[in-house]
Structure 1
Amino acid sequence: MIYEHITMRKTAIKEAKDLCQKHKSAFLSTLSSNQKGFPFSSIAQYIFLDDNHFYFFISDIAQHTKNLIKHSELSFMILDDGDVADVENARVTILGHAHKLSRDESRAQIDQFIATHEKAQQYAMLGDFNLWRVVVTRVRYVGGFGRAFWLEKGEWY
């Protein structure tokens, strides 16, 4: 029984990471800096690298960036390709903290971001776009009916 539980969790982690690799954008939620106590949702592109961190390349003037400057906490959901109305559609919700990286320390990741998101080349020429690394705190993976798991930071990394 314990072995079966461990196997199910390992499968959930693999499926969650595969879903994150497969997609390129997420429903991003930050804590509002001007509507105290309320979450703010947007859509943002990301890359998910072999270090198991997510990276967002976002403008300093975007509302979600202004929110992250004041509160590093965020969550974002990656939804599989199925029908949005289908409650059994696989999805991953990431909880974590975002940290802005300098252009110098993130050059390689910016290049990877541009390779994944070609239009980001335009953003890279602007001085107000920066890379933000997400350190995962906890992950909620729903792989379908009866397949919901909270995955802990130690399991993710």
Structure 2
Amino acid sequence: MSDAALAARTLLARSTHGVLATHSVAQPGYPLGSVTPFVLDANGCPLILISSIAQHTRNVQADVRCSLTVTEPASDDVQAAGRLCLLADAEPLPAEDAAIGERYFAFFPDARSYHKAHDFAFWRLRPVRLRYIGGFGKIHWFDPATVIRPNPLSWADESRAVQHMNADHQAALRSYCRHAGLPESDADPVMAGADGEALYLRLGHRIHRLPFNTPVTNLDELRQATIAMCQATYWSPQAEACA
């Protein structure tokens, strides 16, 4: 995998919200952009939770073609920051995939209440092409298979690990925060999820991505990684935490 493709995948994985652009029904011919939280599903596709009365929902019901744009945190020179535009087709989440919605709630627990109260539903964005800009003049187009990576952990295994860490290993989660240099917070750290490349901690309303030194492919390897991460020696300079 090229450095640009890896950077694009990392940017998508570490992002928790982006600008969703849809074809406006109210103003035909014009795109409508809206800030939208998302998580990645088991196949690495963005999963969004949107209301039936929202304009962008009406738009994707009429035309599934859309895009999701994510950017690196603001810097002094916005043109030097990485950004990724994912062109996609939107589809309602099938009933048989409903369990993956629990991953969304692990990242955004407040969403559970309005999901039921305000007629929200999950939609999946299936990537068609991706455009990554790694800085001025560094423009790359990628097919989805080049950037999108399925999670090797099943939701059942990921959920089991999340529940175990949060219930029994708060001291370990706090040590991750110290070793990663995360900002101090009054909120206790909560493990929100994991994939083959990183562990995700929630502090308050913010998600922090903590990359593994070595990718994991199953629950046992994840367990070994979470144990190793308690040691200061694990956190070498090349194992930077991406907030």
Bin of the TM-score, shorter chain as denominator length:
0.7 to 0.9
Name the structure 2 match of 1:123.
Answer: 114
Name the structure 2 match of 1:43.
Answer: 35
Q: TM-score, normalised by structure 2?
A: 0.57
**Structure (1 or 2) with the greater helix fraction:** 2
Alignment gaps of 5+ in structure 1: 1-6
Q: Deviations over 1:80-121 (max 9, x none)?
A: 11238611111110101000124x323222100000112111
Higher relative contact order (CA 8 A, sep 6+): 1
Equivalent residue in structure 2 for 1:143, among 114, 134, 155 = 134
**Structure (1 or 2) with the greater strand fraction:** 1
* 1:13 is the counterpart of 2:5: yes
* 1:156 is the counterpart of 2:147: yes
CA distance in structure 1 between the aligned counterparts of 2:63 and 2:42, rounded to whole angstroms? 26
CA distance in structure 2 between the aligned counterparts of 1:52 and 1:114, rounded to whole angstroms? 17
* 1:75 is the counterpart of 2:67: yes
The percentage of aligned residue pairs carrying the same residue is 27
Structure 1 counterpart SS, 2:104: helix
Indicate if the aligned counterparts of 1:52 and 1:156 stay in contact, CA closer than 8 A: no
Structure 2 counterpart SS, 1:52: coil
Q: Over aligned residues, Cα RMSD in angstroms?
A: 1.8
Which amino acid in the other structure matches residue 58 of structure 1?
I
Indicate if the aligned counterparts of 2:69 and 2:83 stay in contact, CA closer than 8 A: yes
CA distance in structure 2 between the aligned counterparts of 1:49 and 1:14, rounded to whole angstroms? 18
Equivalent residue in structure 1 for 2:104, among 110, 113, 133 = 113
Name the structure 1 match of 2:123.
Answer: 132
Q: TM-score, normalised by structure 1?
A: 0.86
- CA gap of 1:50–1:84, structure 2 versus 1, over 3 A, is farther
* 1:23 is the counterpart of 2:22: no
Alignment gaps of 5+ in structure 2: 149-243
Q: Deviations over 1:106-147 (max 9, x none)?
A: 322210000011211112323621111111011011111332
Moved over 3 A (4+): none
Deviation at 1:72, TM superposition (A): 0.1
CA distance in structure 2 between the aligned counterparts of 1:25 and 1:85, rounded to whole angstroms? 21
Structure 2 counterpart SS, 1:95: strand
